[in-house]
Amino acid sequence: MYININARAKTIIEQCRALLFPDFYCEAGECEGSALRQKLLESLSSAIGMCFSSQGGSGDAEAIAAEFVDSLPQLGQTLRKDVIATYNGDPAAESVAEVIACYPGIRAISSYRIAHALLLAGVPLLPRIITELAHSETGIDINPAATIGESFAIDHGTGVVIGATAILGDNVKLYQGVTLGAKSFPLDENGNPVKGVPRHPILEDNVIVYSNATILGRVTIGKNAVIGGNIWVTEDVAPGTKVVQSPKKYF
């Protein structure tokens, strides 16, 4: 069953991308919107039903799938803002088309936004499968439970990790190797990890985090702050602050 769910998840991602960016992800002769929409409804209903069954739960798979498909235009508007933010933030990008077709950050973000919407709809398992497929494809690991605002950009992207309880505001930009992670987590009286505790960072609007920076724990990085490369952050950072390494002296 799990192999089938993974295969169907790949199909769902492809169908969603074809509807969201038909000029880039549609197969020739298969770009008629209503037909694509129907195919996605069928794929998604089946996969959601399988996921409910595998987890011992229940839900109206068809209703959830229909609501999700109806929400795709709004999701597409959000993704277009991510595309523009990525294009405007990278001088090497020669066109918006290049960003959509080539950039791993957009592939990972689109998978995250699809998965996050399904998670909010109460779908088990499938959201995590979708983001882990993107992780395998791009090297970018975004937990579907993370909360990410509009105009989000990931430049280069390899090695980026965003934990489940992370909260990112609007116009946040991350470079490769950034970790938004947790410190050691609390254990209950039986030595088991306590789940559901907010343990990942909050990045407010307009934050930039440069390559290989690590931000751990429930700390807040204030608006317009800049975190330099190869920095280890475990405390709050005030709005507008630039956190950089001390310059090294060579003898």
Quote the pTM value: 0.93
62 and 182 co-located in one domain: no
* Domain harbouring 14, CATH code: 1.10.3130.10
161 and 200 co-located in one domain: yes
- The Cα–Cα gap between 125 and 147 comes to 18
| CA 122-5-47 angle, 5° bins | 50
Range of the domain at 38: 1-139
Q: What is the pLDDT of residue 111?
A: 98
- The Cα–Cα gap between 241 and 223 comes to 9
User: Considering its fold, how many domains does the chain have in total?
Assistant: 2
30 and 134 co-located in one domain: yes
Q: What is the pLDDT of residue 55?
A: 75
Across the 251 residues of the chain, what is the mean pLDDT of every consecutive 10-residue run?
79 94 76 83 94 81 96 97 98 96 97 98 96 97 98 97 98 98 85 86 98 98 98 97 82 58
* Domain harbouring 197, CATH code: 2.160.10.10
Q: Which of 139, 154, 174 is the last residue of a domain?
A: 139
What's the one-letter identity of residue 74? Q
114 and 155 co-located in one domain: no
The Cβ-side half-sphere exposure at 228, using a 13 Å CA radius, reads 8
